[in-house]
Amino acid sequence: MEKVQSIGFIGGGMMAGAILDGMVNRIKKNPTEIFVSERRQERCDELHDMYGVSASTSADSFIGNVDAVLLAVKPQALDAALDEIASKVKSDARIISIVAGVPLARLEKAFPGHPIVRVMPNTPLSVGEGMSAYTFNDAAEAVKDTTAEEIFSSCGKAVKVAESLMDAVTGLSGSGPAYAFLMIDALSDGGVMAGLPRDYARIMAAQTLLGAAKMVLETGKHPDALRDAVTSPAGTTIAGVRVMEQQGVRGALIDAVMAATRRSEELGKLK
Ligand SMILES: NC(=O)C1=CN([C@@H]2O[C@H](COP(=O)(O)OP(=O)(O)OC[C@H]3O[C@@H](n4cnc5c(N)ncnc54)[C@H](OP(=O)(O)O)[C@@H]3O)[C@@H](O)[C@H]2O)C=CC1
Ligand SMILES: O=C(O)[C@@H]1CCC=N1
């Protein structure tokens, strides 16, 4: 199968903007081959000004011509979007969906016979540090479609997983930036309470999480081993870690991932 040239986005919100940034500024995709359908005219203008793509409030001008369609509307808006476009796409168009919780089977009903890739990215892809996981339907497997891999690895890491894991991916890395932001804010509050100015506290909290994350990824060491290296006998760190364990921070994070995973499963069942 030929490489994808033109691509049409359905939905031009926050995630679409972040993906467009990767496509235009990182993989240097020609913006004249990118089309966006987005409800709000002012957002269309913004996307055109920022990335040079064609953006309009209807997909009609491009949907029958593009080689790939990227679905980037909220799950609750998906059915209406599919009603608008599904019967108009090119017969061999590849479909990429980032819509949380929506299974391949539901997309296959709308686009029978098409190669379909379901992706769960996250917002740090807007700064080139996204974590995306993707899964193929049989038709995409058959053509070994590389479009999604190319797009999403241009703005971070991208891994292929079995579809049965997509809700768990959503609960961990899809929603995960929110857990990290909450932790950064809470750690900043701790710093302020201990006497640091707010702006320093925020930078210290964020850079500490960034550095710790890099150590995990770059050393390949278990987080427990890295934690041991910070934790001096009778020192400061063990005093802090003890409070975290007493307050159930570990259990709260496990439960947060599970709650988001369950919600992703529920969203997939909404009709
Ligand atoms: N935010 C995140 O962290 C992540 C989100 N996702 C998924 O990505 C998808 C997009 O999320 P996000 O970018 O945050 O959402 P946004 O609400 O920012 O963007 C969706 C946009 O699509 C527009 N829209 C709705 N229906 C149509 C339509 N039929 N045709 C054209 N445009 C339409 C909306 O307009 P209006 O608001 O006027 O309806 C809105 O501007 C969701 O399915 C979400 O589950 C996946 C991973 C992470
Ligand atoms: O909150 C949500 O539903 C979306 C999906 C993953 C992150 N944000």
- At residue 141, what is the residue type? E
Instruction: Give strand pairing partners of 136.
Output: 117
Assign 38 to helix, strand or coil.
coil
The protein residue with its alpha carbon nearest to ligand 1, atom 27, reads 11
Q: What is the mean pLDDT of residues 190-205?
A: 98
How high is the pLDDT of residue 267? 83
H helix or E strand, kind and range, residue 158: strand 156-160
Question: Residues 67-87: what's their mean pLDDT?
Answer: 95
Would 131 be classed as within a structural domain?
A: yes
Coil, helix or strand at residue 55: strand
pLDDT of residue 27: 83
Q: Residue 149: how many CA atoms within 13 Å on its side-chain side?
A: 11
pLDDT given for residue 209 in this prediction: 98
Domain membership of residue 170 (yes or no) is: no
User: Which residues 6+ apart lie within 8 Å of 21 measured at CB?
Assistant: 50, 51, 126, 155
Of 133, 165, 197, the one marking the end of a domain is 165
- Protein residue with its CA nearest to atom 1 in ligand 2: 175
CATH of residue 122's domain is 3.40.50.720
Torsion of CA 219, 257, 203, 246, to 10 degrees: -90
The domain containing residue 219 runs over which residues? Answer: 176-268
On whether residue 2 sits in a domain, the answer given is no
Look-up: residue for tokens 């768990």? 168
pLDDT given for residue 26 in this prediction: 85
Alpha-carbon dihedral sign for residues 26, 31, 37, 38: positive
Could you read off the pLDDT of 43-59 as tens digits, one per residue?
Answer: 999 999 999 999 999 99
| Inter-residue contact 231 to 64 (CB < 8 Å) | no
The structure's pTM equals 0.93
Is the CB of 15 inside a 6 Å radius of any atom of ligand 2?
A: no
Is residue 59 in some structural domain? yes
Query: Which tens digits make up the pLDDT trace of 241-264?
Result: 999 999 999 999 999 999 999 999
- For residues 170-194, average pLDDT: 98
Ordered alpha helix ranges (H), the chain? 14-21, 41-51, 78-85, 104-110, 138-143, 147-153, 166-169, 176-193, 198-219, 223-230, 236-246, 249-269
What CATH number does residue 211 fall under?
1.10.3730.10
Q: Is the CB of 175 within 6 Å of ligand 2?
A: yes
> What ipTM did this prediction achieve?
0.97
Residue nearest to atom 39 of ligand 1 (CA): 39
Binding-site residues from annotation: 10-15, 72-75
- How confident is the prediction for the chain on average, in pLDDT? 95
Helices 14-21, 41-51: axis angle to 10 degrees equals 10
Same domain, 37 and 62: yes
Residues 139 and 232 in one domain: no
